Amino acid sequence: MVRARRPSPQTAAVLTALAETGADWSHGYDLCRSLGLKAGTVYPILIRLTERGQVETSWETDPPRGRPARHLYRLTAAGAELARTVAPAPAGEGARTPGAARLTPRTT
């Protein structure tokens, strides 16, 4: 019998952040910044989720001049389902799931 493990709080935060962007693509660097996690944490999670078919990746097709193309990430249907199980929708305004981070735009 295969026992399903509950994702770590960091993995749940990445899943939640990707779920909040819907079908839009996200950059790994932006996820790191918005979640307050280091690249050494976020990128292995993204790789693992991709290998499991829960995240799809693509290369940026039209990067700004002078910058190389970056990898883009978004949830697959299976990933969206997993995200719903680890971080159910908040019941009311301001409600948060423990351990789940929100992807919020930064103003700089």
pLDDT tens digits, 36-92? 999 999 999 999 999 999 999 999 888 889 988 899 999 999 999 999 998 654 544
**What are the residue ranges spanned by the domains of the chain?**
9-61+68-86
pLDDT of residue 63: 85
Measured in degrees and rounded to the nearest 5, phi and psi for residue 71 equal: -75, 145
Q: What is the CATH number of domain 9-61+68-86?
A: 1.10.10.10
